[in-house]
Amino acid sequence: MRNFDEFTITEAVLARVAAATDPRMRLISQALVRHLHAFVREVEPTQAEWAAGIDFLTRTGQMCDGKRQEFILLSDILGVSMQVDAINHRRSAAATETTVLGPFYVESPPEFPCGADISGGMTGQKLSVEGSVATLDGTPIAGAIVDVWHADAEGCYDVQRPGDLAGRGRLRTDAAGRFHFWTIRPSSYPVPHDGPVGQLLARQGRHPYRPAHVHFKIAAAGHETLVTHVFAAGDPYLDSDVVFGVKDSIIRPYTEQEPGTAPDGTVVAERYATLRYDFRLK
């Protein structure tokens, strides 16, 4: 086969990749070719635009290292990460809704007992976070592993600054399926935007911000691991999260409290905030 034009070339490539013996590989390759060719036919790029696209992808790869994953960021800001999340976690009415893991999760974070302060020296308004973990029918899950992490009051994660881990930790639910910790209130923050993805956001006329949130990854034997956040009610970026990760069911008030003695006996000299979420695992 030869002498392809801008239309017949699609069928030719589809026929060629049909040789893949792995059926999943064949399906993925054919869908990729169909959609990519349709994209090019719709956009009709100039040679210079095509070269700029290749250059963008090259710089995206070159930006990646052990600490920075620019391709995941690209997938996030194009809504693809949330689309994959949605496909893989089709909603069961009673289960807590999922959202993106993000790039700042650390495997095996430091362990803390219930009630501990995980802020690790971050400064800002004190925040008490409590909640519970249960099955879909509401049965408490004891010993669930609750990993939490969040940005500081300036919108930076510990791993974005030199120094020790802070604002993250691993707790286990008690016999009644409950957990509680102290930390500081995170703020909304921009995703890393000093690379090609940041340039793309600027060219698309978009801001790079995410609304304030605390991340949770909750694992319990016999249950699907839950990856989610709890967003701060009233945050100005809830309707324009740069990674499209907000769902109504995972927004909660970070409620302001007067100085005084908190229910766990901690004496707090300044106004502080409280957050509560009760998680349900599939």
Residue 246, helix vs strand vs coil: coil
Q: Which of 33, 63, 73, 148 binds ligand BEZ (CB under 6 A)?
A: 73
3-state secondary structure 130-199: EEEEEECCCCECCCCEEEEEECCCCCCCHHHCCCCCCCEEEEECCCCCEEEEEEECCCCEECCCCCHHHH
Q: Residue 158 binds which one of ligand BEZ, Fe ion, none, with CB within 5 to 8 A depending on kind?
A: none
Output the smallest distance, CB 11 to ligand BEZ, in A. 38
CB of 209 to ligand BEZ, least distance (A): 10
Q: Tokens representing 188? A: 């909304």
In angstroms, give the least distance from the CB of 102 to ligand BEZ: 3
Residue 104 binds ligand BEZ, judged by CB under 6 A? yes
Return left, alpha or beta for 190; rule: phi > 0 is left, psi -120 to 50 is alpha, else beta: beta
Q: Which of residues 222-281 bind ligand BEZ (CB under 6 A)?
A: 243
- Are 12 and 4 within 8 A, CB to CB? yes
Tokens of 225: 């691991």
Q: Pattern of binders to Fe ion over 90-119, x per CB under 5 A?
A: ------------x-----------------
The residue count of the chain comes to 282
Residue 75 CB, nearest approach to Fe ion (Å): 15
Binding of residue 168 to ligand BEZ (CB under 6 A): no
Strands 178-184 and 251-252: unpaired
Residue 222 burial (CB count, 10 A): 7
Q: Which of 180, 177, 56 is nearest to 118 (CA)?
A: 180
Q: Considering the rule CB under 6 A, would residue 103 count as an interface residue with ligand BEZ?
A: yes
Residue 182 CB, shortest distance to ligand BEZ, in Å, is: 21
Q: Which residue in the set 60, 74, 76, 129 belongs to the binding site for ligand BEZ (CB under 6 A)? A: 76
**Of the residues 95, 146, 148, 191, which one makes contact with ligand BEZ according to CB under 6 A:** 191
Neighbouring-strand partners of residue 277: 131
- CA dist 97 and 221 (Å) reads 19
Any contact of residue 102 with ligand BEZ (CB under 6 A)?
yes
In this complex, which beta carbon is closest to ligand BEZ, that of residue 33 or of residue 242? 242
The structure tokens listed for 275 are: 């957050």
* Minimum gap (Å) between residue 268 Cβ and Fe ion: 25
Query: Of Fe ion, ligand BEZ, none, which one sits near residue 220, judging by CB under 5 to 8 A according to partner kind?
Result: none
130 binds, among Fe ion, ligand BEZ, none (CB under 5 to 8 A by kind): none
Q: How many residues make contact with ligand BEZ (CB under 6 A)?
A: 9
The single residue listed with the structure tokens 């993250």 is 168
Q: Which residues bind ligand BEZ (CB under 6 A)?
A: 73, 76, 100, 102-104, 191, 210, 243
Q: Contact residues for Fe ion (CB under 5 A)?
A: 102
